Amino acid sequence: MALTQMALDSLDFDATVALATTVAPHVDILEIGTPCIKHNGIKLLETLRAKFPNNKILVDLKTADAGFYEAEPFYKAGADIVTVLGISDMGTIKGVIDAANKYGKKAQIDLINVADKAAVTKAAAAAGAHIIGVHTGLDQQAAGQTPFADLALVAALNLGVEISVAGGVKAATAKQVKDAGATIIVAGAAIYGAADPAAAAAEITAIVHA
Ligand SMILES: O=C(CO)[C@H](O)[C@H](O)COP(=O)(O)O
């Protein structure tokens, strides 16, 4: 079954916990977004881990170096998934995979800004990556880009790894993303920007779980 992931992209600690409280019953995975984890640190992960035992938690570290060293404390503190940049050295990617395996968790390789996405996906899968993250970042979205072509390319490789898709996904596009091969469908702005975030999350999850 495909899963939904909600990206918590606020910088504010209390607002993040409050939004997670609203949304957690309606999504599978809570994501602590990159600006959020940089601003608030591992204490926020510890807080969310304690409050939401029924959700998986992804920490979007987007690690670029020192993979094992940077990722290990987050797995130890309860992260289920940690991200590493696909543009990093394979030693860095392998370090995050090794840290994930040490704790029985998952490493996600983020393809943001990767030039040869097929080559990096194949190399990461061969190195034991659990999840490939097809990702059109917020700045790329502002320039009009979408993740759909990259998703088609990665899904066509048929490597047997999980595929997460992020980049402006909303209720209107969630089915398209799932049908194209995504196993984790990420939504940030479509949920936190909605008038009723709980309802928006529930709507997307109903589509993804259908
Ligand atoms: O990782 C991110 C930015 O780097 C976002 O959290 C991700 O793109 C999901 O948010 P949205 O649905 O608003 O694109």
CATH of residue 196: 3.20.20.70
pLDDT category at 36 given cuts 50, 70, 90 is very high
Q: Given the CA of residue 189, which atom of ligand 1 is nearest to it?
A: 13
Can you give the residue range of the structural domain that contains 187? 3-209
Looking at residue 138, what is its pLDDT? 96
What total number of domains does the chain contain? 1
| Predicted ipTM of the assembly | 0.97
> How far apart are the C-alpha atoms of 177 and 11, rounded to whole Å?
28
Asked whether 137 lines ligand 1 (CB < 6 A), one says yes
Tokens of 9: 């992209």
Distance between Cα 33 and ligand 1 center (Å): 7
Looking at residue 181, what is its pLDDT? 97
Pocket test for ligand 1, best of 164, 186, 204 (most atoms within 8 A of CB): 186
Task: Encode pLDDT of 49-59 as tens digits.
Answer: 999 999 999 99
For the residues 167-185, what does the mean pLDDT come to?
98
What global pTM score does this model have?
0.98
For the residues 90-107, what does the mean pLDDT come to?
98
- 3-state secondary structure labels for all residues of 99-148: HHHHCCCEEEEECCCCCCHHHHHHHHHHCCCCEEEEECCHHHHHCCCCCH
Asked whether 194 lines ligand 1 (CB < 6 A), one says no
Mean pLDDT over each residue of the chain, to the nearest integer: 98
